[in-house]
Amino acid sequence: MRRVQEQNSIDPTKPASEKDKGGVNRRNFLAGASAVAASTALLPEAFAQTQQGFPLGPDPIRYPPDIFKILDDRFSQYLIFNTPLRREWTGSLWAEGCAWNGTGRYVVFSDIPNNRQMRWDEVTGSVSLLRSPSNFSNGNTFDWQGRQLSCEHSTARLVRYNWEGPWPEVLADSYDGKPLNAPNDVVVHPDDDGIVFTDPGYGSHWWYEGNVRELELPTSIYHLDPSNGQLSRITDEIFKPNGLAFSPDYKTLYAADTAPTHHPGEKAKIIAWDVEENGRKLTNRRDFAVLEGGFHDGIRTDTDGNVWAATAFGGEGVDGVHVYEPGGTKLGQILMPEGCANLCFCGERRNRLFICGSQSVYTLYTATQGAGRT
């Protein structure tokens, strides 16, 4: 500021030629005006970013967005047509395992290859590091006491983060005297806090997501009674049990079978069972949905019982979110720019979809609400 004042002050004792050297002549005036104009043009964006504390969102789009693929007219009632798909953050290698914490108003998610857990803050919109290393964790959830449960790949165990350390507490790491394959996703029953988790072994196939070792157990779904630590295998009639979700009334359990990754010729499916004894027993196995291309991974249900399935490796027109009504009819899709591994409902009203893309995370408001815990 002082320099500008000195340049703009004129000493009447100096000759005109010398006044021009340090004073305001036409050339100096025009150069200064251009500099001011250039800096002023940046003020609105810079000011907004300073006030927000984080960068502005994506460029605006014209409503309605072109991301909805409606296959059944019933799908429309669950969509908001004047809201954008927001890319909240990018920087992961394979984003997974999202779970909503209502008390903290944040979503925890895993970036498996980078061996870390991340935290998206609903209030600020920022993403920060929550835990590193994470033992290449995949699926996460919160139990009915608000404690975080995580499926760890490299250690092949299910753990819990209690209110006080030391962390984490190991809930399960072996069955029948053999190490688990690599737990993948986890859900909790509200009646007795019984824990159900899948164990497909993806964290034991590549160094990229954990370790490399031979699987010693069949790929299975397990039930854990946290009151006594008893671990029970409730089914092994599934090729690659992946994402899990209960129906809103907890009478049905859904599991994604990503069979094509290791069983050529088999199709990716969502399999459903009737739930008995709070998840200790599964009956009436049936194919709920069969996918012709790509595969379903993480799944969630809404309060009407619709199944929302994250979908990847199907390419353009397939990757994104597929939505099925409780009878298994596909209602439609949310088309995404990346393959999607997982999703959860979040926000104060649980009407906002949080989606884990491959390298990014997204949010989208819906006209429904998530069922259950996450």
Q: Measured between alpha carbons, how far is 94 from 358 in angstroms, rounded to an integer?
A: 5
User: What is the Cα–Cα distance from 128 to 30, expressed in whole angstroms?
Assistant: 45
What pLDDT, on the 0 to 100 scale, is given for residue 3? Answer: 38
Over residues 302-348, the pLDDT tens digits come to 999 999 999 999 999 999 999 999 999 999 999 999 999 999 999 99
Residue 278 and residue 206: Cα distance in Å, rounded?
Answer: 34
Q: Which residue has the tokens 């803050």?
A: 121
User: Rounded to whole angstroms, what are the CA distances from 234 to 158, 181, 196, 280?
Assistant: 16, 16, 9, 7
Q: What pLDDT digit, counting tens, does each position of 138-158 carry? A: 999 999 999 999 999 999 999
Question: Does the pLDDT at position 175 exceed 80?
Answer: yes
| CA quadruple 163, 164, 165, 170: dihedral sign | negative
Both tokens of residue 313? 């490796």
Cα atoms found within 13 Å of the Cα of residue 289, Cβ hemisphere only: 27
pLDDT, averaged across the chain: 88
Number of Cβ atoms within 10 Å of the Cβ of 148: 21
Q: How much of the chain exceeds pLDDT 90, in percent?
A: 82
* pLDDT bracket for residue 59 (50, 70, 90): confident
Residue with token string 């994402």:
243
Long-range CB contact pairs, 57-64, < 8 A, 24+:
57/84, 57/86, 57/87, 58/84, 58/86, 58/87, 60/84
179, β-bridge pairs: 174
- Pinpoint the alpha helices (H) of 170-241: none
Dihedral of alpha carbons 145, 148, 152, 155, sign: negative
The model's pLDDT over 189-245, given as tens digits with 9 standing for 90+, comes to: 999 999 999 999 999 999 999 999 999 999 999 999 999 999 999 999 999 999 999
Residues 6+ apart with CB under 8 A from 224: 158, 171, 172, 194, 195, 196, 197, 230, 231, 232
pLDDT for the residue numbered 48: 41
Residue type, 26: R
Cβ atoms of 300 and 308 closer than 8 Å: yes
- Range of lowest pLDDT (29-43, 176-190, 280-294): 29-43
Which whole number is the average pLDDT over 272-290?
Answer: 97
Determine the Cα–Cα distance for residues 144 and 190; give it in Å rounded to an integer. 7
Question: Is the Cβ–Cβ distance between 359 and 285 less than 8 Å?
Answer: no
Owner of token pair 């094509």: 260
**How many CB atoms within 10 Å of residue 14?**
13
pTM of the predicted protein model: 0.85
Is the model's pLDDT at 38 over the cut of 60?
no
State how far the Cα of 332 lies from the Cα of 352, in Å rounded to an integer.
Answer: 17
With bands split at pLDDT 50, 70 and 90, how would you rate the model's confidence at 58?
A: low
- Where does 177-227 show beta strands of DSSP type E? 178-179, 186-188, 195-199, 220-225
Task: Provide the pLDDT for residue 187.
Answer: 98
Distance of alpha carbon 370 from alpha carbon 374, whole angstroms? 7
Residue 161 — very low, low, confident or very high, per pLDDT cuts 50/70/90?
very high
What whole-number distance in Å separates Cα of residue 300 and Cα of residue 343? 7
* Mean local confidence (pLDDT), 74-101: 97
Contact (Cβ atoms closer than 8 angstroms) between residue 150 and residue 117:
yes
CA distance readout (Å), 200 to 215, 253, 255, 357: 9, 17, 11, 21
Domains of the chain (ranges plus CATH)? 2-40 (no CATH), 69-365 (2.120.10.30)
Q: What tokens appear for 353 in the block?
A: 């979809």
Q: Above 70 in pLDDT, residue 23? A: no
How many CB atoms neighbour CB 231 within 10 A?
19
Residue with the larger pLDDT of the pair 57 and 22: 57
